[in-house]
């Protein structure tokens, strides 16, 4: 193996997680030889592509399924994106993060009471958040509060911020991380390489090193971090790690309506349901459209619109009695059963628009089935894991660590928002393993200060370890 193919750390996967990690390793550690390998020909062509997710910076204020503790941790990592982007030149910043109104809407007495109480608990953590009565909502989002020019009939209230950085193009963010790495490679004393169009087919431990078989030949590294979505689990299991998990890919599709919202309007989450309730978002890349969704449909493929990943899905499904029992337990809950059925019908031609419009009408009552269209080619897949031992569906990100220099990240929503926070955890792991130095002062200056100061908030503990 030549020196040119021997690295301190190789990152596999060039979505927002992998590029964020390469950026942090290059910017804040003293490691000299870094490499990113991505099988597509550009960064962020899978779940981090701007068409494939909801483009939301989830900071915990409008996500009613988050506890206060979870919200505080999410706020820290979400702020890292805003702190990073607001230090860029204005033109670059404006291509990545966007200011707009955002709110979570309560409809009917029960949801309105719930939101009023939640506001009292969360307002200290989110000083800019406001309680929005119907006239405030009408000022910000007239199509939500009014129907045919008159007040809508149901009681409504919302909590949110009228103007905040809450939308992000994760693809542009990945491209920015990638460009910063090119710059560091050109101008500094480090090798920070990125090889696109390069697929990793196998990872093996060889003494204290890892050998990666790739479509460009073998590459050698002292540590490896895999940020390849559902494929991370496939690679982990090939190495004998994470065998307690099965992967359930849950696709999310969207519907377009003509511009109906000025910002983001989320709805109150049913606590029995595992995925975010339907929301409406002013699309930041598809002009003149409001995007509603996402739906939640189990699909037998690890990447949306990529049939070659069907085989990979069956390898990580690991269908056995425990997986079947977990799915059976989930389906015993009538709310989940109905939700699964409804989401199946949201993909059925002709019927889909007529059924999905009812979800949309909770947000914008005047929209009809004629106004909306299925967003073909949009949407991604959330690689949700099932813990077969515990017989439970894991909701957030999962990290598998062998303790000897290899890490595997599985990143369903809100994995885009957590990219820099996840990378921080991986930087710690890699630096500890290799005995590298991390410039935490620079890290704090660049990512924990600026638009939002989160220096007092401790870093979240590792999500899951095996
Ligand atoms: C419908 C939907 C809505 C969402 N909305 C939001 C949201 O509003 N906010 C939010 O924070 N998150 C959201 N998410 C989640 C978010 O999109 C993901 O968490 C995030 O994009 C994950 O980034 P990633 O880099 O880990 O994975 P990806 O972006 O999927 O990147 C993985 C990369 O690994 C590469 N790869 C795979 N196998 C190999 C291999 N063998 N060799 C080399 N490369 C390989 C792939 O080509 C890909 O580029 C949403 C997800 C979905 C599906």
Q: How far does the centroid of ligand 1 lie from the alpha carbon of residue 416, in Å? A: 7
Q: Say if ligand 1 is within 6 A of residue 417 CB.
A: yes
Task: Ligand 1 pocket test: pick from 47, 78, 97 the residue with the most ligand atoms within 8 Å of its Cβ.
Answer: 47
Among 23, 42, 46, say which to mutate for ligand 1: greatest number of ligand atoms within 8 Å of CB.
46
| Strand pairing category for 255-258 and 264-267 | unpaired
Ligand 1 pocket residue status of 229, Cβ below 6 Å: yes
Q: List, for residues 354-413, the tens digit of each pLDDT value.
A: 999 999 999 999 999 999 999 999 999 999 999 998 998 888 889 999 889 999 999 988
Closest atom of ligand 1 relative to the 413 alpha carbon: 15
Closest residue CA from atom 2 of ligand 1: 53
Mean confidence (pLDDT) of the chain:
94
pLDDT reported for residue 463:
47
Q: Is pLDDT at 465 greater than 50 in this prediction?
A: no
Please tell me if the CB atom of residue 224 comes closer than 6 angstroms to any atom of ligand 1: no
Domain boundaries, given as residue ranges, for the chain: 1-55+169-244+389-466
Q: Kindly give the interhelix angle for 230-238 and 310-317, rounded to the nearest 10 degrees.
A: 60
What is the chain's Cα-based Rg?
A: 22
Q: Atom of ligand 1 at shortest distance to CA of 18?
A: 25
Q: Cα(337) to centroid of ligand 1, in Å?
A: 27
Indicate if the pLDDT at residue 270 is higher than 90.
no
Task: Output the CA 286–ligand 1 centroid distance in Å.
Answer: 19
Return the pLDDT at 464.
45
What would the pLDDT profile of 291-305 be if each residue is shown by its tens digit? 999 999 999 999 999
Please determine, looking at this structure, whether the domain spanning 1-55+169-244+389-466 carries the CATH number 3.40.50.300.
Answer: no
Backbone phi, psi, residue 264, to 5°: -110, 130
Q: pTM of the entire structure?
A: 0.96
Average pLDDT over residues 37-44: 98
How many A from CA of 17 to the centre of ligand 1?
A: 8
379 lines ligand 1 (CB under 6 A): yes
60 in contact with ligand 1, CB cutoff 6 A: no
With 90 as the cut, is the pLDDT of residue 458 above it?
no
* Ligand 1 within 6 A of CB of 267: no
Alpha carbon of residue 17 to chain centroid? 9
Mutate which of 416, 417, 426 for ligand 1 pocket (most atoms within 8 A of beta carbon): 416
Nearest to 278 by CA among 377, 359, 361, 379: 359
Is pLDDT of 5 > 90? no
Give the residues across from 6 on adjacent strands: 220
pLDDT tens for residues 49-106? 999 999 999 999 999 989 999 899 899 999 999 999 999 999 999 999 999 999 999 9
* Residue-level pLDDT at 466: 40
pLDDT digits (tens, 9 = 90+) for 145-164: 999 999 999 999 999 999 99
Q: Which residues contact 261 (CB under 8 A, 6 or more apart)?
A: 141, 143, 144, 280, 281, 282, 290, 363, 364
Distances (CA, A) of 236 to 170, 402, 409: 25, 9, 9
Residue 1 pLDDT level (bands cut at 50, 70, 90): low
């Amino acid at each position: 193996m030549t020196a040119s193919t021997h690295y301190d750390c190789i990152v596999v996967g060039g979505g927002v997680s992998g590029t964020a990690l390469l950026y942090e390793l290059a910017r804040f550690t003293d490691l000299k030889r870094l490499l990113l390998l991505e099988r597509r020909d550009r960064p962020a062509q899978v779940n981090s592509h701007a068409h494939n997710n909801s483009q939301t910076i989830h900071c915990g204020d409008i996500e009613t399924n988050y506890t206060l503790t979870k919200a505080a941790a999410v706020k820290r990592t979400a702020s890292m994106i805003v702190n990073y982007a607001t230090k860029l030149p204005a033109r670059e910043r404006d291509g990545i993060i966007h200011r707009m109104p955002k709110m979570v809407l309560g409809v009917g007495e029960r949801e309105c009471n719930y939101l009023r109480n939640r506001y009292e608990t969360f307002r200290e953590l989110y000083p800019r958040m406001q309680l929005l009565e119907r006239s405030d909502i009408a000022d910000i989002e007239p199509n939500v509060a009014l129907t045919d020019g008159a007040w809508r009939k149901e009681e409504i209230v919302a909590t949110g911020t009228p103007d905040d950085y809450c939308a992000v193009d994760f693809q542009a963010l990945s491209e920015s991380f990638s460009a910063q790495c090119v710059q560091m490679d050109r101008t500094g004393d480090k090798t920070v390489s990125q090889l696109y169009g390069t697929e990793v087919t196998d990872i093996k431990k060889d003494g204290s090193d890892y050998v990666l078989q790739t479509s460009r030949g073998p590459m050698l590294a002292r540590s490896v971090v895999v940020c390849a979505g559902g494929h991370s689990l496939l690679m982990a299991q090939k190495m004998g790690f994470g065998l307690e998990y099965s992967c359930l890919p849950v696709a999310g599709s969207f519907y377009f309506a003509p511009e109906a919202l000025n910002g983001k309007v989320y709805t109150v989450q049913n606590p029995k349901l595992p995925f975010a309730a339907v929301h409406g978002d002013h699309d930041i890349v598809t002009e003149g459209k409001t995007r509603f969704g996402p739906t939640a449909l189990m699909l037998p493929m690890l990447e949306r619109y990529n049939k070659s990943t069907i085989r990979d899905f069956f390898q990580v499904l690991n269908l056995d009695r425990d997986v079947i029992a977990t799915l059976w337990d989930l389906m015993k809950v009538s709310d989940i059963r109905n939700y699964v059925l409804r989401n199946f019908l949201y993909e059925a031609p002709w019927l889909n628009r007529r059924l999905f419009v009812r979800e949309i009408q909770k947000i914008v009552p005047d929209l009809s089935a004629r106004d909306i269209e299925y967003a073909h080619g949009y949407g991604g897949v959330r690689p949700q894991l099932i813990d077969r031992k515990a017989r439970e569906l894991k909701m957030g990100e999962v990290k598998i660590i062998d303790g000897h220099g290899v890490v595997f990240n599985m990143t369903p929503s809100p994995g885009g928002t957590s990219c820099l926070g996840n990378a921080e955890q991986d930087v710690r792991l890699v630096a500890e393993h290799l005995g590298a130095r991390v410039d935490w002062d620079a890290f704090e200056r660049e990512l924990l200060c600026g638009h939002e100061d989160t220096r007092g908030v401790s870093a979240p503990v590792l999500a899951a370890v095996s």
